[in-house]
Amino acid sequence: MPTDPADAASQDPALDPALGGRLPDDQLPKNDREWAKRLTPEQFQVARKKGTERAFTGKYWNTKTPGTYRCICCGEPLFRSGEKFDSGCGWPSFTAPIDGRKGTTIAEHMDTSMFMRRTEVTCRRCGAHLGHVFDDGPPPTGLRYCINSASIVLEPANEPQK
């Protein structure tokens, strides 16, 4: 088993290579107790309870390693490192989801918490809270998907799928 809890989901034997590294549908947890067993406390708080990690503290905010960022909960591929950019905000930022089409791998929801009006992004497959999307990103999309490191796991491009 990995020593780094953030890597636990990427090396989970339940993540089926035949499903592209995703957790099989019949093995997706169905309630908070099951999710809490599968995730670290921080991952659970952020991904399942809509928390936010502190800026400049997450594992991937400054990572430049090529690869695919997957949902920490279900293994769904969400973002490519090629769309990652340094926004200066302290969280991993991307210009577009992996498929480039809004609504296919991620879902968007109006978020009016914290006395703000923002657009929350979640994993379309399992509903994990990922972060928010803003319209202050660079070309070509003009979008900034501001994502919590605790909600994703990086599958480096040079490593085979486990």
DSSP assignment of 46-110: IIIT---PPTT-STTTT----EEEEETTT--EEEEGGGEE--SSSS-EESS-TTSSTTTSEEEEE
Amino acid 55 reads A
Model pLDDT for residues 55-66, shown as the tens digit of each residue: 999 999 999 999
Q: What is the rounded CA–CA span in Å between residue 57 and residue 51?
A: 14
Q: What pairs with residue 121 in β-bridges?
A: 108, 131
Per-chain mean pLDDT for the chain: 85
Contact 153, 133 (CB under 8 A): no
Q: What pLDDT, on the 0 to 100 scale, is given for residue 117? A: 86
User: Hey, which residues are catalytic here?
Assistant: 146
Q: What pLDDT, on the 0 to 100 scale, is given for residue 4? A: 44
Query: What is the pTM for the complete model shown?
Result: 0.83
